[in-house]
Amino acid sequence: MRIRRSARFFSFVFFFFVSFQVTLGSAAAQSSQPEHLSADQVVARMIQKNEQRANALESFQGRRAYSLRYVGFPSDMSADMTVTMTYKAPATKEFTIVSQTGNKWIISHIFQRLLDSEREALDAENRASTALNNVNYDFTLVSDQPAADDCSYVLQVEPKTPNKFLYRGKVWVNSKDFAVCKIAAEPSKNPSFWIKKTDINHDYTKVGDFWLPADNKSVSSLRLGGVATLTIKYEDYKILQSRALNQMDHSATPAHAN
């Protein structure tokens, strides 16, 4: 089984995260007891805050380190690529390749497709169809216990339609600012016959007033026995331009920087 049969899958893995990768939060000195809210209340606040805070972030830069390791039939393969990214509101992303090593097919077909998919995700229609909201998902509150990082609300999410760009799993929400902290999920619909099982984990980090992606790890078990592991490390963030929340027009359409 060649890893090239999984190219569409890895494009999907990255695509559904980028529709809500920017939220705004405030740090807390220590963990505290979260409010006892219903799932609907948590989700409503999360959606409202994400829209307001996505509008506040006008431009930022960062560095991405992509790594793909495939172990299995017919041979092991791997590749690495590092890029810099500049985002400008409302929907522009520019990528510059810093370095690339390893299997050339992975670099040209899978890594390039990841970059192309991230640009495509900025399209308004794509944002709407993959957004973490009540239109696309059903939510169940699993836990609201204190946590050291204040990521106290744990939501079980189930897609309303078997869309291959949606997912099912758990989402952790910060109890102070209602930002997404972490995601542990699997695809709603298997994107390929050759993929047997996929586990996806996504973590966020706080940069200034914003929560931005920190790590993305996707492990895919293939039907012929191979395992493909995709990791993305997000580093060297710099907020170039942003607005204060009290200057926001809350009725405006949100700019999803992702």
Q: Name the domain count of the chain.
A: 1
Angstrom distance (rounded) from CA 72 to CA 177: 43
β-partners of residue 26 are none
Domain for residue 252, yes or no? no
Residue 133's pLDDT is 94
Domain for residue 166, yes or no? yes
* Residue position matching structure tokens 């009290």: 246
Containing 231, the helix (H) or strand (E) segment is strand 227-242
Domain for residue 148, yes or no? yes
Segments in the chain below pLDDT 50: 1-6, 9, 12-13, 15-17, 19-20, 22-30, 248-258
Residue 10's pLDDT is 53
46 three-state secondary structure = helix
Angle subtended at Cα 140 by Cα 135 and Cα 143, rounded to the nearest 5 degrees: 140
Domain for residue 195, yes or no? yes
Containing 55, the helix (H) or strand (E) segment is helix 39-56
Residue 43's pLDDT is 97
pLDDT digits (tens, 9 = 90+) for 41-77: 999 999 999 888 888 999 999 999 999 999 998 899 9
Q: Which domain holds residue 62?
A: 3-241
Residue 251's pLDDT is 38
Helices 7-15/112-120 angle, 10° precision: 40
Domain for residue 251, yes or no? no
Domain for residue 249, yes or no? no
Domain for residue 246, yes or no? no
Angstrom distance (rounded) from CA 125 to CA 256: 12
Residue 46's pLDDT is 95
